Amino acid sequence: MKDQTLPPAAVAARRERRRLLQALAVSLAVGLVAWAIGPSLAITIGGTALTFVVSLGVLRLLAARSAARDEARDNAWKDTIAGTPPPAGDREYPLRPRALAAAVVLGALSVCALLLVSPSWRATQLGALIGLCAVALACSGLAAFLKAALLRQGIRVTDTQVIVPRSSWSREVVAIDLADVTATVWGPASKPWIEIRSGFGRYERDFPMSVLGASLGREGFLELAAALENRTAEARRRQGTEV
């Protein structure tokens, strides 16, 4: 997400630095293994350098293939949105994923199962680790469930505005003119999300398919994306005509 808000040159430089660090880490690991085996210092240095060059080349090749694949998926996702008819009139889309209830139940069952086992097993390191994981899952699921149940957030799209929660933990809403929205839909078709960002930096937040999909389903997600794309473009045209 943050990469998308940077200029393309800065994004490319950041990703290249990341690849350099990854290749360096792999080559240093190989060098340490070669040094431990200890054939000779020259072989260790040569193997480290060769590993760095090969690793960097492989990472660049994989990055190029991944970029091409993501671009194809992104184009397919945009075509899908373009082919989805936008809804008529004002619509409100809830942010109450039902999957959170399942997380709470799963966490509670995990804790109950842990309490039913023998005390000697609970005293082991594995038992303590599983217990901590179960408690963490139950707590996170309960917090998410209470948030969704109490806040009852949603996204409302009108002909001129999009009304969104001020933050992920707020009941307050923010009304943004559609003409000021600079980004609405990002991401490949496999894991799309909706980003709503105002042109003046007053609001910036993303809504992943994993959250919206549980409440809206794929069709509802596509409808919301199409509504934002269509009405944002229409609002910008009206603003340009008025000016």
The share of the chain scoring above pLDDT 90, in percent, equals: 1
Q: In CATH terms, is domain 152-242 a member of 2.30.29.30?
A: yes
Instruction: Kindly indicate the confidence band of residue 1, based on its pLDDT and cuts at 50, 70 and 90.
Output: very low
> How confident is the model over 84-100, as pLDDT tens digits?
888 888 888 887 766 55
Helices (H), 38-162: 41-82, 99-116, 119-122, 125-151
Does 104 score more than 80 pLDDT? no
Q: In which order are the strands placed within the sheet that holds 193-198?
A: 181-186, 193-198, 204-208
pLDDT for res 116: 62
- Which of the two residues, 66 and 52, has the higher pLDDT score? 52
DSSP annotation of 87? P
> How confident is the model over 184-215, as pLDDT tens digits?
877 666 677 888 888 777 788 888 776 676 67
Does 165 score more than 70 pLDDT? yes
pLDDT for res 4: 44
Rounded-to-integer distance, Cα 196 and Cα 185, Å:
8
Cα distance between the two ends of the chain: 33
Query: What is the mean predicted confidence (pLDDT) over 44-55?
Result: 86
Least confident of 53-57, 59-63, 68-72, 229-233: 68-72
pLDDT for res 185: 76
Instruction: Kindly indicate the confidence band of residue 102, based on its pLDDT and cuts at 50, 70 and 90.
Output: low
Instruction: Please give the mean pLDDT across all residues of the chain.
Output: 77
> How confident is the model over 212-235, as pLDDT tens digits?
766 777 788 888 888 888 888 888
Q: Is 227 exposed, middle or buried (0-12, 13-18, 19+ CB in 10 A)?
A: buried
Backbone angles phi, psi at 83, to 5 degrees: -85, 0
Q: Give the pTM.
A: 0.57
Instruction: Kindly indicate the confidence band of residue 243, based on its pLDDT and cuts at 50, 70 and 90.
Output: very low
pLDDT for res 97: 60
Domain ranges of the chain: 3-82, 99-151, 152-242
CA angle 94/100/103 to nearest 5° reads: 175
Query: What is the mean predicted confidence (pLDDT) over 172-183?
Result: 88
8 close to 49: Cβ distance less than 8 angstroms: no
- Which of 167, 186, 169, 183 is closest to 81 using CA atoms? 186
Q: In which order are the strands placed within the sheet that holds 91-94?
A: 91-94, 154-157, 161-165, 173-177
Q: Which of 38-42, 66-70, 203-207, 211-215 has the highest mean pLDDT?
A: 203-207
2, 28, 78, 143, 224 from 229: Cα distances, Å: 21, 48, 10, 33, 9
The share of the chain scoring above pLDDT 70, in percent, equals: 73
> How confident is the model over 120-159, as pLDDT tens digits?
655 666 666 766 777 776 777 677 777 777 788 889 998 8
Instruction: Kindly indicate the confidence band of residue 3, based on its pLDDT and cuts at 50, 70 and 90.
Output: very low
